[in-house]
Structure 1
């Protein structure tokens, strides 16, 4: 993996979130690949539940200040960064007061999905990719984890399709059984079409539930990873029907060599 650039886009990560299969892998996979010689970058939303003082987040002024247009509205992008203690890894946080200041992650106090979760996902995707461009750091692999990261593949493959910065990047989607109740805003397809992302993806998002968000990411995936031993059957069937290369579930203690081989053989044709 020497010199390969791998961009990790996740919505949950230790130590900023409690331990789950996703939050643990979001730390361990980048660390393992960094130890194998890869150049990694990690991005996640700066949710309001993350304690900035405790985790020593600070704003990166030179990267902040851009405005992103979401549903025909200008939204300011703020970039913060923190170092993971004892791991020699940095994490970039996508922040915006409208979308991420609230002291809850995906739902309100009654457990209802936020009505703007679709816009939060779009803002997050665009924010990550615009920041990577500003860093002048061209990724070989874009690896996304979590349903709120699921708009990233569409933006890589459609919005930036003619952009030499991303047009050679391979997309990997990690899949987890972390379903949510209900659906995202039904206007999500319309908001994506504002950025020229339409056509096939709108078929997946007619009913924008957990399954649809995953399938819309897999629509643009070069490969997929089962982040848990069991994932929803509909997603399993889609993987088989589309012949997407899949890495089966691998316990955390075995990921180092497994991911090195997976990236090399399935994405970079290095046998």
Structure 2
């Protein structure tokens, strides 16, 4: 991976959020690329339950300040950054008072999904892409972890399809079992269509459950990694029928060589 540029976009990541399958691999995979001589950038949402003082987050003024349009609303984009101790790794945080200030990640105290999770996902996808454009950093690979990041492949290929910075970028999506129960806002498809994305391009979002979001991400990726030992039958069948490179499940204890080989031989070749 020497000198290859890999952009990691994650819903959640240790040490900023509790340890689970997504947050652990979202941390370990960039650490692996970093250790093997690659250049990395990491983005995640700045959820309100991330302790800014403990993790020493600070705003990057030169990257903040633009407004992103989500469903005809102007939403200010704030960029913060922190460094992971001992790893020489920086993490960029996508922030917005309306979407991310609340002291929780995806659901309220009763376990109900936030009704604007669909808009948060749209804002996150656009925020990452616009910030990478400001950094003028063209990634060789963009690796997506977690459902809050799942719209990134769709937006890169359709909304930002003419953006030269990403013309050579390859997208990899890791598909996990961990998702959510029920569906996101039933108006999600119309909000995506507001950005000029056609019905057929995002048809799965008519019923925006977890499997649907993963199907959309897989459709617009150049390769897929099965990141959990078990997926739903629907997702397993869908992935097995994809006509693109798929890496089968590897545990967190054995993923490094397999991911490295997948990047080099299946995605970049």
Same fold, judged at TM 0.5 (above): yes
Q: Which residue of 2 aligns with 1:157?
A: 157
Q: 1:72-91 counterparts in 2 under 5 A?
A: 72-91=72-91
Please state whether the residue corresponding to 2:165 is helix, strand or coil: coil
Q: Which residue of 1 aligns with 2:230?
A: 230
Q: Which runs of 4+ in 1 moved over 3 A?
A: none
Q: Which residue of 1 aligns with 2:255?
A: 255
Could you tell me how far apart the structure 2 residues matched to 1:114 and 1:251 are? 31
Please state whether the residue corresponding to 1:6 is helix, strand or coil: strand
Shift of 1:51: 0.3
- 1:146-189: CA deviations, max 9, x gaps? 01101000111111111111122111110111121111111111
Could you tell me how far apart the structure 1 residues matched to 2:139 and 2:231 are? 28
Aligned length: 269
Shift of 1:199: 3.1
Which structure 2 segments of 5+ residues have no match? none
Shift of 1:254: 2.2
Shift of 1:217: 0.7
Q: TM-score, normalised by structure 2?
A: 0.97
Shift of 1:109: 1.9
Could you tell me how far apart the structure 1 residues matched to 2:87 and 2:124 are? 25
Please say if residues 245 and 267 of structure 2, whose CA atoms lie closer than 8 Å, have aligned partners that are also in contact: no
My pick for the range that moved more, 243-252 or 208-217, is 243-252
Q: Which residue of 1 aligns with 2:116?
A: 116
Q: TM-score, normalised by structure 1?
A: 0.97
RMSD over aligned CA atoms reads 1.0
Shift of 1:246: 1.1
Please say if residues 47 and 105 of structure 1, whose CA atoms lie closer than 8 Å, have aligned partners that are also in contact: yes
Q: Is 1:170 aligned to residue 167 of structure 2?
A: no
Please say if residues 84 and 91 of structure 1, whose CA atoms lie closer than 8 Å, have aligned partners that are also in contact: yes
